[in-house]
């Protein structure tokens, strides 16, 4: 797996996330809840997922690129759904297994390689993970196969980081792929919300500088500062380079 994009970086990231008190405090304050986020999903985005979880018995949710499972843990706590997650980081999956041993199944594996039975999930979430699919078109087919009839897929999708910024909400690679396949979906542009969160992230990172350094996690602090560099430009400038959308696929 070591040759996969960012594999070693994510192994190190989740080791730090599992151990660092500064990072837990940072996430809680910057995002409203500590989900060991690598990036961009705050509690407002996660709470949007709740309305797509059916109110019935035996609901199952899959999180692709679930990290240490904390988002799933939150969704389970709110809805009692059975939670499934996979990620290629063994540091992340070992932690998920120990945090959430019940009503759950966590697997270490790669997008494009791991498989589930057909019509298995009521909801699939991909929070900043769909970009890591080696073949987006066939991965979308696979996700649709895994979905129960009437199920939904919730995707948080950022342009300007791992994938390039396209012109506007109608030109995203994911949107085009779905249209070509005749799959119905709705989109929401949350770029402004994302910019506001970035400002908050910067402010909170600065607050926890000393704690990160005392823990020996200065390099992660520096990364947070680098990731929030856009806090120094106006929203107009930011939105030329970055965009964030939520897709609900049915």
Ligand X SMILES: C[S@@+](CC[C@H](N)C(=O)[O-])C[C@H]1O[C@@H](n2cnc3c(N)ncnc32)[C@H](O)[C@@H]1O
Q: Which residues bind ligand X (CB under 6 A)?
A: 4, 10, 37-39, 41, 65, 67, 87-89, 92, 110-111, 127-129, 132
Minimum CB distance to ligand X smaller for 132 or for 212: 132
Element (H, E) at 156: strand 147-159
CB of 149 to ligand X, least distance (A): 26
Q: Give the side-chain half-sphere CA count within 13 A for 117.
A: 6
Minimum CB distance to ligand X smaller for 38 or for 122: 38
Minimum CB distance to ligand X smaller for 38 or for 182: 38
Task: Identify the burial level of 229 via C-beta atoms within 10 angstroms of its C-beta, where 0-12 means exposed, 13-18 middle and 19 or more buried.
Answer: exposed
CB of 234 to ligand X, least distance (A): 25
CA distances from 233 to 42, 199, 240, 246 (A): 21, 10, 11, 24
Minimum CB distance to ligand X smaller for 33 or for 209: 33
CB of 74 to ligand X, least distance (A): 12
CB of 45 to ligand X, least distance (A): 9
Q: Where are the beta strands (DSSP E) in 88-146?
A: 104-108, 121-127
Residue 116: what are its φ and ψ, rounded to 5°? -130, 160
| Strand ranges across the sheet with 104-108 | 104-108, 82-87, 60-64, 121-127, 147-159, 243-249, 185-189
Minimum CB distance to ligand X smaller for 92 or for 178: 92
Residue nearest to ligand X (CB): 65
CB of 194 to ligand X, least distance (A): 13
Minimum CB distance to ligand X smaller for 115 or for 214: 115
CB of 66 to ligand X, least distance (A): 6
Q: Give the side-chain half-sphere CA count within 13 A for 187.
A: 19
């Amino acid at each position: 797996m070591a040759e996969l994009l960012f594999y070693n970086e994510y192994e190190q990231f989740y080791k730090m996330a599992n151990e660092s008190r500064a990072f837990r405090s940072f996430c809680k304050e910057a995002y409203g809840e500590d989900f060991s986020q690598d990036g961009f999903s705050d509690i407002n985005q996660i709470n949007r997922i709740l309305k797509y979880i059916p109110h019935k018995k035996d609901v199952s949710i899959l999180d692709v690129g679930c990290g240490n499972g904390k988002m799933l843990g939150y969704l389970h706590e709110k809805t009692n759904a059975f939670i499934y997650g996979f990620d290629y980081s063994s540091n992340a999956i070992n932690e998920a297994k120990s945090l959430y041993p019940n009503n759950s199944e966590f697997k270490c594996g790669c997008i494009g390689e791991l498989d589930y039975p057909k019509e298995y999930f009521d909801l699939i979430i991909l929070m900043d993970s769909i970009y890591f699919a080696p073949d987006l078109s066939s991965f979308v087919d696979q996700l649709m196969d895994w979905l129960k009839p009437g199920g939904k897929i919730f995707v948080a999708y950022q342009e300007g980081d791992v994938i390039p910024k396209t012109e506007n909400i109608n030109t995203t690679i994911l949107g085009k792929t779905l249209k070509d396949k005749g799959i119905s979906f709705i989109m929401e542009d949350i770029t402004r919300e994302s910019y506001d969160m970035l400002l908050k992230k910067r402010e909170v990172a600065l607050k926890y500088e000393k704690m990160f350094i005392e823990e020996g996690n200065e390099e992660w602090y520096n990364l947070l500062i680098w990731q929030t560099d856009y806090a120094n430009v106006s929203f107009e400038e930011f939105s030329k380079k970055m965009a964030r959308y939520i897709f609900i696929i049915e």
